[in-house]
Amino acid sequence: MLPYEHKINYYETDKMGITHHSNYVRFMEEARVDFLDKIGWSFDKLEEQGIVSPVLAIECNYKKSTKFADIVKIEVKIEKLAGLKMVISYTFRLGDDVVCTASSTHCFLDLNGKPVFIEKTYPDFFAALKATMEEA
């Protein structure tokens, strides 16, 4: 699957001219939304089906700096998928250099906030996620 691309905007940089670390969490969300679109399960479709997937945890490991106008490619991969939770990994690249590795952990809830076992309740969505794990 093609990685998501994000061009660093001037407002995303700090006084030192590098991308402020807090923006990487936003970039993760952009890449996650793009990933879901590519597998046919957009956020709109998920919400229409009654599924929400809030973030439970985020981890970022910064390796190198990026700056204004850099184009960062973000590879998204499902690392774990079981029961109520999913872990997604992100690899941020600038050219051949890895600039950040990250992960986000999510759970699955219905629109009333109750836990949902997607494998049983939404088998098509579960299969689409699982298929991406097998491609990698």
The residues that are catalytic are: 14
* Beta-carbon contacts of residue 95 (< 8 Å; ≥ 6 apart): none
Contact present, 71 and 7 (Cβ < 8 Å): yes
Calculate ∠ Cα 37-104-33, nearest 5°.
15
Nearest to 100 by CA among 25, 1, 15: 25
The two structure tokens encoding residue 131: 């298929």
The two structure tokens encoding residue 16: 């030192």
